[in-house]
Structure 1
Amino acid sequence: MDSSTTPRVIQLAEQIMADIAGRGLQSGDPYLGTADAARMLGVSTTSANRAMQLLVQRNVLSRRQKRGTFVADGIHGETQRTIDRVHLVVNNTYLATEGMMADGVIVGIQSVLPHAEIEFNHLPGSDDTAWVSELIAKTARSQQAEGFVLARSSLTSQRLFQASGLPTVIFGSRFPSIQALPSVDRDHIAAGRLLTTSLIEQGVKKLGVLMRSQVLPGDHPFLDSIWRTAAELGLTPSDLTIRFLPTDDQAVQHATRDLLHQQGANGLICRSQPLAESASKTIKASKQKRIQATPIVVSDVYSRNQAKLPWATIRTVDSSESIGAKLAEILVEQAQGNAPEIAVRRLDVQLSNPPT
C-alpha cells in the first residue's frame, strides 16, 4: 500500500517501529514516552499517542502504569498477535428492517478466533460521527487487541475507521475514496445479471426494480448490470422502471401498484426481502390474473428461513460460516501488522430457485 492511501496513524506507527529497530531494542527494553516520541516524529502528542496505542494493539509496545513504555514480544514476531474482541458494527435502521447478521457468519468468525469476545455495536440511523469517534477512542485505550466488522456502514464511519488504523474489514462495499480498508462483498454485477436474465427468460418484457431509499456503493454496479443485461437481451430503456423506497409497507405497496398498472411492469426485481414481502402483498391482493402471475426475484436475503421463501433469490456460493472465517482472517492479518493481499474480495453468487 503506498503512502498516499496509508492512514497517517499507520505511517507514524511504522516510523516508531523503524526507530525501535534502529536502536537495536529487544523485547522488554524501555522505549520513549509519548512526549519524546512526539518530538522524534515531529508531530503532536495526540498523534504520537494514537500511533503508540496502535502498536500496543499489535503487541509491539506495552504500557505499564507508572513504569512507562516498553518493547513487547511482537516487535520481532516472537508471538502472533490475534484478536481478543470483534465488534460487529451494524446500522440501527438496517437492523430494524432486515435483521441481524446471519448466525453462520458469527460461527465462522469464532472458528478462526475461538477465544474472541463478539460484541454487537448498533450505529445510529442518522449522524454517526460522534458515536464512531467515541468507539474508536475507547478501543484505542484498551489493552486488548480489538477488530471491527462494518455492515452497511456510512461513508463517515468508513473514513473514521480507515484513519484509526485499527483492524477493520467492511462486510459490504467500500465508498469511493476508501482505499485502505479491505472489504468482503458479494458480486453485485453477477447478481444483477442473474436476476434480470431469470425474469426475461420467463417472458418478462417490462421490468420494475424496487430499491432501498438509502443507496450504497454496491447498488451502482447492481443497477448497471441490470441495465446492461436487459439491453443485451433485447429490452429498451423504456422497458425498465426503478423506484427507490423506504422500508414502509404502504409506500412499497403503492409504488408496486404504480409499476404494475401504470408502467406495465410484468416482472419485479427487489433489492431486499422486506421490499419483496410488501410487493408480494400487492400482487396477491390483485383481482387481475395477469398481475397475480407477476414473478418476483430478490437480491438481498438474510432470513434464517431462506429455504422457505417463495421467490428466486441470490445466494453466495460460500456458506455464511466460510464468509465469517474470511472476515476474521483479514482482521488477524491486520492485527499482526500486515496489509491484506487482496483489498476487495468478491463473493461468487448463484440464483436459488424456490422449492416447487
Structure 2
Amino acid sequence: MFLPTIIIGTIVFLFCFYFNKKNMFKLTLIFFIIGFFITGIVYLIDLDDQIIDTEVWSGNIEDVEHKEEWDEFHPQREETYTTTDSKGNTITKIKIIPAYTEHHKAINKIQTTDNGWITVYEDLDGKVSFSDKFPNTKEELLKFYPIGKETVSIHTYENKVQASYSIYNHKDIDLDKYRDLPKYPNEMKNLIEIDRFIGSIPNKDKVMETLNKVNSELNNNSNKKQINLIFVNLGDKSSDYGFALQDYWKCGNKNDFIICFGSRGGKVTWAYPFSWADSEKSEKLKIDVRNYMLKANLKSDFTKVIEDINPMIKRNFQRKEFADFNYLNVELSTKAYIYIAILNLITGVGIMYCCREM
C-alpha cells in the first residue's frame, strides 16, 4: 500500500541531496508526512467502497399520521445589532422586523416496522400528489397507506465477502459469456416497494403482491427470519446461468434467498436456489426448494408456489452472520493504487520544485 510513497519519497530524497543538501531531510520528511496521509485517506475511501453493501428489510405499515396545514403568526419584534462608523466607533442599532404570517404545509407520514417514520408526498403509483387540499384526515391517508400494508427498505452493512468473493466464486464460470444476466434488484419502485420477481410470469402483479406478503410475514416479530426472498425466471437459458447469476450478484447480501430457475412451455426446466447462508439447515432448504420447483407448473397460480415455499423457509432458513468473515483481508484495489501513485507523484514534483527554489 505504501510502496508508491516509499519509491517516490526515495526519488525526492536523492533529488534534494543533489540540489539542496541543507534542506533535504526537512523536505523529504514533509513529503513522507503528506504521502502517508494521502495513502491513508485513499485506503479508507477504497475500503469503504469495497465492503459497504446493502440489504433489503421487509415489514408492514403500523401507523399513519396526518397533520393539517396551519398558519403561524409572528408578531412584530425588535432585533439589536452593532456596526462600526467611519471613525471606528461601535454603534448599537435597532432593526424592526414587521409582523408576518408563516404558512406550514400539511404533513403526511407513515410508520413502518422496518424503517420507522417516513414522510410521504404521493400515493404508491405516483398518480395522486398530496397537498394542503388533500388528504385532509388520517382516514383519507389510510386509503392510500392502509395499516398492515407490506413495506420494504434498504439498509447498509459491512460485507467483506463482496471484496473477497473468491470464497464463493464458481471457477468454471466466465461472466463475459453471460452478458444478458439481470441486475440485482436493489432499486426501490417507490418509498416502500421493490421488485422481487424478475422475469416473466402470469399475473405478475398478484405474484409480486403475494411475494411481498410472504417476505413481510417471514420478517415479523414471531418468525424473525430476516430474509429477502427473490425469484428469478431466466426463461430458456441453460442451468449454468444459475451459477453465473450467483457470481454476477456477488453482493453476498446476508439475508438473501434467491430461487433462480429456467422455464419452457410453462414448465420449470431447472432450478438453482442459492444464498450466502451455509448451515446444514440452509443447505437442506436449498435441496427441498429445488425439488419442489422442478415439479411446479408456471401456467397455474404461481402464488401457491410462493405460499408452499414459505413454511420450508420458516423451518430451515438461517441467515449468514457476516461477522464470521471478519478474518478476511480486503486488499487495496488497482484503482486505489493508481490514485495513490498519481497523488504522491504530484506531491513529489511539488516538493522537488520547492527544493530547487529554496
CA radius of gyration, larger in? 2
TM-score band (shorter)? under 0.3
Scaled by the length of structure 2, the TM-score of the pair is 0.24
- Return the structure number with greater helix share: 1
